[in-house]
Amino acid sequence: MSVSNPIKTIEIQLPDGSSKPWSTDQSFQEFILEFLPFLKSKALGVELDGTTLVDLSYKPQTNCKVKFLTFQDKDGKEIFHHSTAHLLGQAVQRLWKDAKLTVGPVIETGPGFFYYDIDFAEEVITTDHLPKIEAEMAKIVKEGLDVHRSILTRKDAIAKFEKEGEIYKAELIAGFTDDTVSLYGQGEWYDLCRGPHVPNTSLLRAFKLTAISGAYWKANKDNKMLTRIYGVSFPSKKELDDYIFQIEEAKKRDHRKLGKEMDLFSFQDEAPGFPFWHPKGTILWNTLAEYIRSECFQRGYQEIKTPAILNSTLWKRSGHWDNFHENMYFTQIDEEDFAVKPMNCPGCSLVFKHHMHSYRELPIRYMELGTVHRHELSGVLHGLFRVRAFTQDDAHIFCSQETLQAEVKAIIDFTFDVYRKFGFTEFLTFVATRPEKSQGSDEDWELATNSLKTSLQDNGLEFGIKEGEGAFYGPKIEFNIKDSLGRLWQCGTIQVDFSMPNRFELEYTANDGKKHRPVMLHRAIYGSLERFIGILIEHFEGKFPLWLSPVQMRILTVAEPHSDYASDLASELTSQGYRIETDLRNEKIGAKIREAILRKVNYLVIIGDKEVAGNTVSIRKRGEETTESMDKNAFFQLLSSDL
């Protein structure tokens, strides 16, 4: 005979610190109806005591602190997306009675927020089937089925799924070590799942199935090939429509597509993952390099260059050999082991160590546009966003502990100044803390982490925490920029490093006449020029501001007699530092204009009889349909004001 828990009154503490009395025979869903009715259609689950996620149907038995999760919370989104995966699974099994379900997780990357791997027996499922599945999912939403959780012993669960012919589920449970498993049901359908889930299918109002692919069961090519169906979901149709618009817009802005159309860069089979920069792309690359170099010089940085290949003893001393070995390339020289540098910091440390330094010289700020090589698996390579060779706008600052906070603050200000130059005005900032694989003392890590947090607080910046995502040698600040489509990109970092100065025995003479260890700050603002260029291409849709454009204007002639005037104008503009293309072909001017528009140049300059006779130009700004006539000097002034 089972004995139920006696009913008692407990305290539920809310995020604002207030508490409410509650009975142990009532659920969190009932709590919301009584005390927080505005969350009735928004709450998706509960975070219990900051550690455990439970369903709204859960009946708490002890005093607890709760946070009701909505779609605005990361965990709330995961509950919502995983619940939609169940919606997909139920719809499929209503339509295909013999279909067998395997796993349906939430994912962070790929063509959806979730997927379900399904064995459709011998039937081939294509994208043509997706509308049919979506229609069945919509029916289930309209039915408003309550979602309920049940607990079975592992043995009973295996028997239940085997009886239903769900061989994949039975195989999964057989590999579990827990004595019990949980099932989630809605209507006639149920599935193996830890949960939690939304309380009712009616909440899953807006979704779309986005892609189909093949996937081996348990990612083993010796197992059966399954059908993987991807999907996305949102609480409202507007949010879904906004997302779909953003995805379609992102496809148009894909830097790989635009990079090819604008002839900026390419990837070749002879060097997979290593970008080839074409003339126009090299102009873009060099313009970015010169800009950051100039900004560094104004802030007291000195430029250095360090070798691409260094002896293995250096990498063992720095800690990279033990902590970054799988990402490195190796070679032998004179029968000794060498490695191609994956980071610039050890070489920079040798530059600092080459001379003795006084406290009067500190802080010493070295900057290096250093090309590094990292071994990335072929499956994660992605245009300029994930490559095997890239150039970091790297800098390493050696300072005393007393000036550490001031240096970090200066880097923060520098970083935001650069981002605003490109039109980025919205940022998210994080502090990434000590990872499991790391080096250095607990005291140094605590001091370094607190210094970053304090610097952000002193700057009035809000920040999140990324637990365990710091570099192996120190914690870091991560700067995320929001582009014109509202997407976030992690770019700049600031890292505080006490480890490498110790490993390389770096010293300076302090004002007390004794030798002291400097603090080493690592910082990058672009992150890498390659990735930052990819971001800029998509942010601007290839329509760069004038100062950055590889081709700033294209001079078009109406007919052959206008070529001399056009060539002279091109020479004059080139001598002033502008980047010019001319189109002197004997083609119709309309065709020339259409082609020039596709090249996304900032200005079209049209030369005909009137312009030659009056020593003028007719210009059309990018994105405009009208042409304006002006004398050359006025045009030069316009260009100067646009830089």
- pLDDT recorded at residue 211: 92
Q: How far apart are CA 260 and CA 197, in angstroms?
A: 44
What local confidence, expressed as pLDDT, does residue 472 receive? 83
Domains held by the chain: number: 4
Give the pLDDT confidence score for residue 530 in this predicted structure: 97
Q: Give pLDDT, residue 524.
A: 96
The model's pLDDT over 261-292, given as tens digits with 9 standing for 90+, comes to 999 999 999 999 999 999 999 999 999 999 99
The string of pLDDT tens digits covering residues 20-58 is 999 999 999 999 999 999 999 899 999 999 899 999 999
Average pLDDT over residues 173-187: 93
Give yes or no for residue 460 having a pLDDT over 60.
yes
Number of residues written out for the chain: 643
pLDDT, tens only, 232-260: 999 999 999 999 998 888 889 999 999 99
- Mind listing the pLDDT tens digit for each residue in 112-159? 899 999 999 888 999 999 999 999 999 999 999 999 999 999 999 999
Domain match, 437 and 490 both? yes
The verdict on 419 and 396 lying in the same domain is yes
Structural domain contains residue 3: no
Specify if 320 maps to a domain.
no
Q: Do the domain assignments include residue 342? A: no
370 shares a domain with 503: yes
Do 447 and 494 have their domain in common? yes
Containing structural domain, residue 236: 76-249
Query: How confident is the model over 544-568, as a mean pLDDT?
Result: 95
Same domain? 230 vs 106: yes
Over 70: is that where the pLDDT of 168 sits? yes
pLDDT of residue 152: 94
Please give the pLDDT value at position 110: 76
What proportion of the chain, given as a percentage, has pLDDT over 90?
81
How many C-beta atoms surround the C-beta of residue 364 within 10 A?
Answer: 18
Question: Residues 379, 498: one domain?
Answer: yes
- Let me know if residue 262 belongs to a domain: no
Which of 514, 540, 566 delimits the end of a domain? Answer: 540
| Residues sharing a CB contact under 8 Å with residue 500, sequence separation 6 or more, in sequence order | 318, 319, 345, 346, 349, 473, 506, 520
In this prediction, residue 442 carries a pLDDT of 86
Domain membership flag for residue 178 = yes
pLDDT of residue 221: 86
Would you say 626 and 620 are in contact if contact means Cβ atoms under 8 Å apart? yes
pLDDT of residue 470: 87
Its sign, for the CA torsion 367, 371, 372, 376, is positive
Q: Look at residue 328 and tell me if it is in a domain.
A: no
CATH of the domain at 599: 3.40.50.800
pLDDT at 538 over 60: yes
What was the pLDDT predicted at 558?
94
CA distances from 439 to 319, 434, 436 (A): 8, 9, 9
* Residues with a known catalytic role: 345, 374, 392, 394, 396, 476, 522
Sign (positive/negative) of CA torsion 323, 325, 329, 334?
positive
Checking if the pLDDT of 2 tops 60, the result is: no
What distance in Å separates the CA atoms of residue 553 and residue 541, rounded to the nearest whole number?
A: 17
Looking at residue 424, its amino acid is F
Q: Which residues pair with 464 in a beta bridge?
A: 430
Residue 302 domain-assigned (yes or no): yes
Q: What is the CATH number of the domain that holds 146?
A: 3.30.980.10
Pair 115, 241 in one domain: yes
For residue 416, give the CATH number of its domain.
3.30.930.10
* Per-residue confidence (pLDDT) for residue 414, from 0 to 100: 96
Q: DSSP letter at 13?
A: E
Question: Is the domain of 282 the same as that of 398?
Answer: yes
Q: Are residues 63 and 89 in the same domain?
A: no
Same structural domain for residues 366 and 491?
Answer: yes
| CATH number of residue 32's parent domain | 3.10.20.30
Residue 1 has a pLDDT of: 42
233, 299: one domain: no
Confidence of residue 4 (pLDDT cuts 50, 70, 90): low
Is residue 486 over pLDDT 90?
A: no
Q: Report helix, strand or coil for 170.
A: helix
pLDDT value at 390 more than 90: yes
pLDDT in tens, 576-594: 999 999 999 999 999 999 9
**84 pLDDT higher than 60:** yes
Q: Is residue 256 part of a domain?
A: no
**Alpha carbon of residue 333 to chain centroid:** 38
* Arithmetic mean of pLDDT, 364-391: 92
Is 83 found in the same domain as 65? no
Query: What's the pLDDT score for residue 528?
Result: 94
Side-chain-facing half-sphere of 104: CA atoms under 13 Å: 28
SS3 assignment, position 500: helix
Structure tokens at 457: 């607080």
